[in-house]
Structure 1
Amino acid sequence: MSTDRIWSYARDSGYVEGQDLTGFAVVGSDGTIGRVDRQAAPHGMAHLVVDTGVWLFGRSFLVPVGMVTGIDAPGRRITLGCTGAEVKRAPRFRTDSETRDRSYLTAVGTYYLRLLAAA
């Protein structure tokens, strides 16, 4: 299964090239998940690192940008096409070096593609 499409924003997501999403609230279909701590695109695998604050004891999660279904720039809010529980079950994000590790990013992409296929 190719993970390429999970690493690009959907055309109808509202993303504008070069847009800084740092600090935007991240919302799943079941409520707020956290805030964008940073965004990156190593190896062409664009993703957001989402800080959950106290929701999950300060854990962060890596979310491929292909999961973004909407961006409300004036409201500083990003909507994902999954639930917070599904984000919580994604491959665990531990260190910043993982944001550059192709094998870790591929595992994350495969997980989220399965969510999209099941929807």
Structure 2
Amino acid sequence: MTEHVWSYKPTAGHLAGADLTGYEVEAVDGRIGKVDKHSDEVGDAYLVVDTGVWIFGKEVLLPAATVVRIDPEERKVFVDRTKEQIKDAPEFHREKHLGDPDYRHQLGTYYGPGGPFSGPMV
């Protein structure tokens, strides 16, 4: 089931309604960008991360379950995937994918149980 990837882990420290826009995003092996948009909707929580020059200014969509910790003092979000795993995720185009259930399923399968990188990476 992929629906669990769209919810924050209880241990992530996420507070509903908190504005994460502008927070730095750290993969297990370094910075990947900044939060450009996020959703707190129950069962549909995610981060849209602007990667800047890291992968040529592309955006990536990360399901909330990839978040392991949020540090409001440092304004950082830590995720449990490597840069390479995030770079290899299904390609994201904001105008096409934010409301697309097929893309959501594809991404949920990639990051979720049974996907190529399932389970904690840290």
Fold match (TM-score > 0.5):
yes
Whole-Å Cα distance in 2 between the matches of residues 88 and 101 of structure 1?
A: 20
Instruction: Tell me what 1:63 maps to.
Output: 62
Whole-Å Cα distance in 1 between the matches of residues 99 and 28 of structure 2?
A: 28
The structural deviation recorded for 1:117 is 3.7
Question: RMSD between aligned alpha carbons?
Answer: 1.7
The structural deviation recorded for 1:49 is 0.5
Whole-Å Cα distance in 2 between the matches of residues 19 and 116 of structure 1?
A: 27
Q: Report whether the alignment pairs 1:98 with 2:97.
A: yes
Q: Report whether the alignment pairs 1:38 with 2:37.
A: yes
CA deviation map 1:19-71 (0-9, x unaligned):
11100000000000000000136794211100000111100000001000000
Kindly indicate whether the alpha-carbon contact (under 8 Å) linking 1:30 and 1:83 is maintained by their aligned counterparts in 2: yes
With normalisation by structure 1, the TM-score equals 0.92
Whole-Å Cα distance in 2 between the matches of residues 4 and 18 of structure 1?
A: 21
The structural deviation recorded for 1:103 is 0.7
My pick for the range that moved more, 58-67 or 87-96, is: 87-96
Q: Report whether the alignment pairs 1:25 with 2:24.
A: yes
The residue type paired with residue 116 of structure 1 is: S
Structure 1: stretches of 5+ with no match in the other structure: none
Of Structure 1 and Structure 2, which has the larger fraction of its residues in helix? 1
CA 1:19–1:57: 2 relative to 1, 3 Å = same
Kindly indicate whether the alpha-carbon contact (under 8 Å) linking 1:45 and 1:105 is maintained by their aligned counterparts in 2: no
Q: Percent identity?
A: 39
Instruction: Tell me what 1:86 maps to.
Output: 85
Q: Deviating runs (4+, > 4 A) in structure 1?
A: none
